[in-house]
């Protein structure tokens, strides 16, 4: 069976999945793995299609010192133990900039173009691109497809994507892009199966995790998003502040004497839930903490989700459904309940029993809008896009 490898690389971890092509357009997940602790305490963990553990093995730090080495370890294991040699590799790439609005085959020039966007997504872009470069060098004949988190939001009305700054900056690519698009695309498609009626209408999808945003979806298409030029805007996140007066940045530079690099590090790594709580960006820990700063962080998060939901509702001229997804959205019973309270003015009413067991539909019969919990699957979306690119290439 031909297979597609999907790679989602971070600074210290490499997530990967392998999908078998059962029919010309049908995909079957075969393995799901992660190699984390790169450079410190490398650990390879892989599960099969039946969720059984295939390997759980630690490595010496010097043996897996970087992403390139991690790719080598994962690829060798897949080939030697599973006899899997993928015909293509699909990658999650956070930022596609103004030039890439759909999945694209990667060559050296494309890779160089994407590397120029690193300053717009410093937490993600360099780590997304590292395995692409490694595989291009080692296996130049294997097609690699970059799938962008910004692509789902392309096609917005110009008034949505413009900032109120001189037009020349928009022409240079300074515009609102939106992110988490692979997640939104999958959830929007899944909603058509879960609630076909709602999927045809006005939907707010809340991707609530360490990275958090919301998307206004009309008839399955993105029409607005809380994220903008970079992944710093909109909702507060694990370590990022969300919406911030630009004057704060000017103050940090001029009055605090911080360098650009220091400000960048602060905004990407020291703010959000971590900054407010002073201790952690892990919602599970914050929910059990007695520290008033932990409560402040969660209260702020819930308030801002409710506030930005109002913005998305305005973009849609009303709401027919609200969908929770990603780590917090899929797993936090308490925060789903608290956010729903903030949506009461839209007619949202929770079914506590359904919410407690993470039901697929958690709205009560009296609710005027549907409330849903739909686990995201960005990797499957990447595999679908990669297969589509391969099929188009073969025509």
* CA dist., res. 255 & res. 269, Å (int): 21
Helix 333-342 × helix 292-316 angle, to 10°: 50
**147 phi/psi in degrees, rounded to 5:** -115, 125
Structure-token pair, residue 47: 């599960």
3-state secondary structure 45-70: EEEECCCCEEEEEECCHHHHCCHHHH
* CA dist., res. 129 & res. 209, Å (int): 22
* CA dist., res. 63 & res. 67, Å (int): 11
* CA dist., res. 92 & res. 124, Å (int): 10
* CA dist., res. 104 & res. 96, Å (int): 10
Query: What beta strand segments (E) does the chain contain?
Result: 3-9, 13-23, 26-36, 43-48, 53-58, 88-93, 104-105, 144-148, 202-208, 212-218, 221-225, 321-325, 370-373
Q: Shortest CA distance to 209 belongs to which of 355, 375, 74, 66?
A: 375
**CB distance 272 to 239 below 8 Å:** yes
CA 184 to chain centre: 9
* CA dist., res. 303 & res. 3, Å (int): 44
**CB distance 274 to 238 below 8 Å:** yes
CA quadruple 231, 232, 234, 235: dihedral sign: positive
**CB distance 19 to 3 below 8 Å:** yes
Instruction: Please list the residues that pair with 18 across neighbouring strands.
Output: 5, 31
Structure-token pair, residue 84: 């899997």
Q: Spot the catalytic one: 56, 149, 224, 282.
A: 149
- Tokens 């370890």: give the residue: 73
Active site residue 161: no
Q: Shortest CA distance to 225 belongs to which of 153, 301, 306?
A: 153
Q: 3-state DSSP call for residue 240?
A: coil
Catalytic residues: 149
């Amino acid at each position: 069976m031909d297979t597609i490898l999907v790679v989602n690389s971070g600074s210290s971890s490499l997530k990967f999945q392998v999908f078998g092509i059962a029919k010309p357009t049908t995909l079957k997940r075969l393995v799901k793995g992660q190699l984390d602790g790169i450079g410190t305490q490398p650990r390879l963990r892989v599960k099969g299609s039946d969720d059984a553990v295939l390997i759980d093995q630690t490595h010496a730090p010097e043996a897996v010192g970087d992403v390139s080495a991690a790719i080598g370890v994962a690829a060798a294991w897949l080939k030697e133990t599973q006899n899997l040699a993928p015909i293509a590799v699909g990658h999650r790439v956070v930022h596609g900039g103004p030039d890439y609005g759909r999945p694209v085959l990667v060559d050296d020039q494309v890779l160089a173009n994407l590397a120029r966007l690193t300053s717009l997504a410093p937490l993600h872009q360099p780590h997304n691109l590292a395995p692409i470069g490694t595989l291009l060098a080692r296996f130049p004949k294997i097609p690699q497809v970059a799938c962008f988190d910004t692509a789902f939001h392309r096609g917005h009305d110009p008034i949505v994507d413009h900032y109120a700054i001189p037009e020349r900056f928009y022409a240079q690519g300074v515009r609102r892009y939106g992110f988490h698009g692979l997640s939104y695309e999958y959830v929007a498609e899944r909603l058509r199966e879960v609630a076909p009626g709602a999927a045809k209408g006005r939907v707010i999808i809340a991707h609530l995790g360490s990275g958090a945003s919301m998307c206004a979806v009309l008839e399955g298409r993105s029409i607005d998003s809380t994220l903008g030029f970079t992944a710093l805007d909109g909702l507060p996140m694990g370590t990022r502040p969300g919406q911030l007066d630009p004057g704060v940045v000017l103050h940090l530079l001029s009055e605090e004497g911080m360098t650009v690099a220091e400000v960048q590090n602060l905004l990407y790594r020291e703010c959000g839930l971590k900054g407010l709580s002073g201790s952690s960006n892990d919602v599970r820990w914050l929910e059990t903490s007695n520290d008033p700063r932990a409560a402040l962080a969660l209260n702020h998060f819930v308030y801002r989700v409710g506030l930005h939901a109002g913005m998305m509702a305005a973009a849609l001229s009303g709401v027919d459904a609200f969908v929770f997804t990603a780590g917090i959205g899929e797993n936090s019973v308490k925060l789903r309940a608290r956010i729903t309270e903030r949506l009461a003015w839209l007619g949202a009413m929770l079914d506590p029993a359904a919410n407690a067991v993470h039901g697929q539909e958690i709205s009560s019969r009296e609710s005027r809008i549907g409330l849903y919990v739909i686990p995201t699957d960005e990797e499957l979306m990447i595999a679908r896009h990669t297969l589509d690119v391969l099929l188009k290439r073969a025509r």
